[in-house]
Amino acid sequence: MSWQQSVERIELYLSTAMYVLMVGAILAPLMYVVTGLFGAWRRDLMRGMTSRPLTSHEDAWREAGKRVAAGDEDDDEEDPEIDPGFKNGHG
């Protein structure tokens, strides 16, 4: 292989690399927007803003949030489902 063929091969590699970088520079913002839209749709889906019904744990969290916002916390009351020997992590 002569030095001229080597130079031509290097030029081919460089032009290919430049082409790949240009395509990436054009597609990167587009993909950023597309993934952002998908993330927003997923976030709305997880928040229950679609037509699906909320699950029981989502209902429980929502009700607990409403009680806390209203200052209606019942920290002082005993929970019958909790063994008193293990209250506050002390066994």
Say if 58 falls within a structural domain: yes
Cα dist from 85 to 10, 75, 80, whole Å = 76, 17, 12
% of the chain with per-residue pLDDT over 70: 63
Cα–Cα distance between 29 and 42 in angstroms, integer?
Answer: 20
Say if 77 falls within a structural domain: no
Measured from the Cβ of residue 62, the count of other Cβ atoms closer than 10 Å reads 12
Say if 48 falls within a structural domain: yes
% of the chain with per-residue pLDDT over 90: 24
| 16-53 per-position pLDDT tens digit | 999 999 999 999 888 888 888 777 777 766 666 555 55
Handedness of CA 50, 55, 57, 63 (dihedral sign): positive
Structural domain including 36 reads 3-72
Q: Answer with the residue of higher pLDDT: 63 or 53.
A: 63
Q: Please tell me the number of Cα atoms within 13 Å of 34 on its side-chain side.
A: 5
- For residues 81 and 75, is the Cβ–Cβ distance under 8 A? no
- For residues 26 and 32, is the Cβ–Cβ distance under 8 A? no
86 confidence band (pLDDT: 50, 70, 90): low
Say if 83 falls within a structural domain: no
